[in-house]
Chains A and B, each alone.
Chain A
């Protein structure tokens, strides 16, 4: 392989040069030389000096040769100066890279010229010199290109550096503000250079290793690129989102990007629960019907396959891998000795940990991207240069955007002109207090309603679900969904009382909806807790009954010899506890389902039906429906994002007791992606008030984090403080769920490990550790605070400096001008007084002054 690479390499070189020489129509030798020269020049002068120096010592060189070289260098310097001058004329926009680059090209051309000149010169001079020159050229050529082994180690080092530099250039090429043509040319040149000298570098001691390394890096690069291509090809819905983006601008698209992000997270959660919990249990665990917890009880058997029951996740659905209760407490399952309970526990913890990690990482990245954008010093400039959303490609959206930009400018102007003059501050205050009071009432009312409904449903559940109507059975979920639907509208109405700036109003609105959802969720959880307690009481009774039942069973049948095999009872007939974990899981699944349904139905009725009605009734209506009252609906970004966040919160909360929840959520998100994309494109109009998407990104993320925290709290509470049911689930028979860790430590790890662990978990070690962490947090926070302060301070200083500079420059310019005028005056006077004898001096004086003035102006620029 390596050999082949080298052969390839050596074969390639002459071919390359042949091609280029055809282009150049110059002799091959000259071309090679000049090219080598230019490439060397391009790197840096130091390196060149080194190389030439090295050559000087190696090859025999006469003084004349040295001289020409010096001349050449002088010319180069001249070129550099030229460039600088040209640069000044051109203005300083393109700065460093551009300059360097322009220089390079000029140098290249110049170098070629020099070469030509030199050659001509050599030709005009005596014969032997010419030949020597040519020989020399050939020497150089050979040495650098074909026989690098005669280079000294330092030169090799230099060359290596140059090659690395080229490589870096190739890497950073895409970020260079050059026209594409030049980029392509530079790329090709650099690649040729690298290829040429990389091969050369390889000769020597570590030749094979080096070549191998080069080969591997090339392969690796190619692989990376392919992988990158593959990755972008895997990002779903790119075109769909793009289309929406071009119609509705970035804020609506941000919702869909958020949705896609959520989808990704749920995919991973789904992979975890599916791959590590559901599939192993289904494949390797005991089959359905082998034990009581895996069988539908006799009483329910008749209706277990009814659609209504299955839709409620009862019957066969309840006694399947979808829920906690189905799992067996066997320590290992299957021939793989898969630790099922441990895996169940770790997956539960892992989903939460992973979610935390992802959310926090995204937040940090967002914070980085948005930078320090909260100072108001560039209000107008930002409005001017960043308010247009380049993504917009739809006429209507563009019109809205124009309008919103105009209003924002007008607002800013107004604010600038009169710094907020409130007409009746008492009235607004009163109205705001009133609005908040109303909102609080709403929240409290909705909380009470949910609590009431949940209690009622418990009563119904005790009576047995069969003798109640559909509404009574689904009351809780329906009430929660309806509250979630109508309360935000109510809040919207209330918020008109407050007369806030729209952006502030939006944040209030979001905050209120957030509080509503949170309140509802927590009432729901509290009610669930009540139910759990009830079930646990029931469980105690059942447990007692079972022992009695077993005793009676044994007493009645196998009294005479207890060694005889016990009577086989069909698992469906065995009495069993209520299994509160499955109940919790079921509640969450039902909640998710009903929430999804309401979302879709509101989408269909609220958006689609409305759009259809508005569109077609408009032909026969007394006022313009499209422009007037009902109109088409706008896409409510914030509401939708909130809905998504809460949905996710429920998933996090419930997925420990119902491993199927992530799977359900993946399906839901998938469907809503298509449904909402379609609904947005076909029946929504672009928003009138377009808000910035990026600024609120972290706002949403922060909400997600809060929800994540709040939703893991109850789950962790139940895991830690409530003993698991005695006859269902992977942790049955244990005192607490986390005992599974202890068990694994004891039985699967060597004894010293558990000893170490027990030492490490003793309070004497844990407490100092926690203390240390708190201290570290405190320290980091205080340092970040001081950094921030220093930042602000520096910013202030910079501004002051700038202003001072401004003033100083102005003063200097004025002074210079005055001096000039004075000088002129004096000159005129002097001219009047004396005659031609002193004129020379005057001119000198004036020119000096004007020079200084010019310098001032230049420096000011």
Chain B
């Protein structure tokens, strides 16, 4: 291309294309979006891989994430430090996993991470309650929440430990008809 100032070298773009489900144009657009979030922090020139991170508060304000009840969890589970500060690499990674092209298995892994609020590698009752309350804006009574969580665990828990391991979750989600169509964000 070379008509604008170079943001990435060709090698970098190729590498990103190898590692994500994006095309060259989309990666450049992603960089644009990333840059937009914090123009003073993010350099335009990424050829020497600068080390900068954007805090969670800025990222969850993107229109794509703003209305999502799980926005904080999404950003946190893609950040390396678990606090929600995303470098550009992680930012690209996030949207790559959430893109349309990503396979179900990959999405399932990250969906599990997102719903695992206390990061203990299990979806326990506490996680489910949080999920449910976020989904319904806490409009269900505690008894109803209790019932739904119990039912969910009863349905999906295969090994009887009253919490969902990743295997349980994957088994359940792999058959969900809507998972692929709803668990994606276009950017």
Which of A's residues lie within 8 Å of B, judged by CB? 90-95, 170, 173-177, 179-181, 183-184, 187-188, 225, 228-229, 232-233, 242, 245-246, 250, 369-375, 377-382, 384-395, 397-398, 402, 405-406, 409-410, 412-413, 416, 692-695, 802, 805-807, 809-810, 860-861
Q: Is the CB of A805 within 8 A of B160?
A: yes
Interface string of B73-116 (1 = CB under 8 A from A): 00000001000000101101100111000110110011110010
Contacts of B139 in A (CB 8 A): 402, 406
Report if A187-B186 is in contact (Cβ < 8 Å); known contacts: A91-B121, A694-B178, A809-B159.
Answer: no
Q: A250-B181, A379-B155, A386-B183 are in contact. List 9 more A-B contacts (CB 8 A).
A: A229-B25, A373-B175, A377-B155, A378-B156, A387-B135, A393-B67, A409-B140, A692-B177, A694-B177
- Report which of B26, B156, B181 forms a contact with A381, defined as CB distance below 8 A: B156
Contacts of B105 in A (CB 8 A): 175
Q: Is the CB of B159 within 8 A of A805?
A: yes
Interface string of B149-161 (1 = CB under 8 A from A): 0011001101111
Contacts of B147 in A (CB 8 A): 413, 416
Q: Is the CB of B156 within 8 A of A242?
A: no
- Report which of A180, A245, A372, A384 forms a contact with B148, defined as CB distance below 8 A: A384
Q: Is the CB of A385 within 8 A of B176?
A: yes
B7 at interface by CB-CB < 8 Å: no
The complex places the Cα of A187 from the Cα of B111 at a distance, in Å, of 25
The complex places the Cα of A41 from the Cα of B182 at a distance, in Å, of 41
Contacts of A232 in B (CB 8 A): 23, 25-26
What are 9 sample pairs from A and B whose C-beta atoms fall under 8 A apart? A91-B120, A184-B19, A187-B15, A187-B19, A379-B151, A382-B177, A385-B173, A388-B68, A410-B140
B117 at interface by CB-CB < 8 Å: no
Report if A246-B64 is in contact (Cβ < 8 Å); known contacts: A175-B105, A380-B152, A402-B135.
Answer: yes
Report if A250-B135 is in contact (Cβ < 8 Å); known contacts: A180-B90, A373-B175.
Answer: no
Contacts of A94 in B (CB 8 A): 109
Interface string of B128-141 (1 = CB under 8 A from A): 10011001110110
Closest to B17 in A: A225
Q: Is the CB of B66 within 8 A of A393?
A: yes
Report if A386-B155 is in contact (Cβ < 8 Å); known contacts: A93-B121, A406-B139.
Answer: no
The complex places the Cα of A77 from the Cα of B177 at a distance, in Å, of 44
B70 at interface by CB-CB < 8 Å: yes
The complex places the Cα of A229 from the Cα of B96 at a distance, in Å, of 16
The complex places the Cα of A64 from the Cα of B66 at a distance, in Å, of 65
Contacts of B66 in A (CB 8 A): 393, 395
Q: Is the CB of A378 within 8 A of B155?
A: yes
Report if A387-B106 is in contact (Cβ < 8 Å); known contacts: A409-B140, A413-B144.
Answer: no
Contacts of A693 in B (CB 8 A): 181
Q: Is the CB of A175 within 8 A of B102?
A: yes
Q: Is the CB of B115 within 8 A of A385?
A: yes
The complex places the Cα of A382 from the Cα of B156 at a distance, in Å, of 10
Q: Is the CB of B136 within 8 A of A174?
A: no
The complex places the Cα of A184 from the Cα of B179 at a distance, in Å, of 28
Contacts of B185 in A (CB 8 A): 390-391
The complex places the Cα of A388 from the Cα of B71 at a distance, in Å, of 12
- Chain A, interface SS category: helix
Closest to A374 in B: B177
Report if A173-B19 is in contact (Cβ < 8 Å); known contacts: A180-B90, A380-B152, A402-B136.
Answer: yes
Within 8 A of A (CB), among B42-73: 63-70
Q: Is the CB of A860 within 8 A of B161?
A: yes
Residue from B65, B109, B169 having most chain A Cβ neighbours under 10 A: B109
Q: Is the CB of B161 within 8 A of A861?
A: yes
- Report A770 CB to chain B, min CB distance, Å: 37
Contacts of A406 in B (CB 8 A): 135-137, 139-140
Contacts of A370 in B (CB 8 A): 177
- Report A464 CB to chain B, min CB distance, Å: 56
Contacts of B112 in A (CB 8 A): 93
Closest to B179 in A: A386
Residue from B25, B96, B160, B174 having most chain A Cβ neighbours under 10 A: B160
Q: Is the CB of A386 within 8 A of B186?
A: no
Contacts of B35 in A (CB 8 A): none
The complex places the Cα of A92 from the Cα of B166 at a distance, in Å, of 8
Closest to B123 in A: A385
Closest to B62 in A: A393
Q: Is the CB of B80 within 8 A of A179?
A: yes
Q: Is the CB of A371 within 8 A of B90?
A: no
Closest to A181 in B: B89
Contacts of B18 in A (CB 8 A): 170, 173-174, 187
Report if A188-B15 is in contact (Cβ < 8 Å); known contacts: A393-B66, A809-B159.
Answer: yes
- Report B80 CB to chain A, min CB distance, Å: 6
- Report A249 CB to chain B, min CB distance, Å: 9
Q: Is the CB of B182 within 8 A of A389?
A: yes
Interface string of B12-24 (1 = CB under 8 A from A): 0011011111011
B37 at interface by CB-CB < 8 Å: no
Closest to A390 in B: B185
B184 at interface by CB-CB < 8 Å: yes
The complex places the Cα of A389 from the Cα of B70 at a distance, in Å, of 11
Q: Is the CB of A391 within 8 A of B148?
A: no
Closest to B105 in A: A175
Contacts of B175 in A (CB 8 A): 371-373, 375, 378
The complex places the Cα of A413 from the Cα of B140 at a distance, in Å, of 11
Residue from A175, A372, A397 having most chain B Cβ neighbours under 10 A: A175
Contacts of B17 in A (CB 8 A): 225
Q: Is the CB of B151 within 8 A of A806?
A: no
Q: Is the CB of B67 within 8 A of A175?
A: no
Closest to A222 in B: B14
The complex places the Cα of A250 from the Cα of B180 at a distance, in Å, of 11
Report if A385-B15 is in contact (Cβ < 8 Å); known contacts: A370-B177, A390-B184, A810-B160.
Answer: no
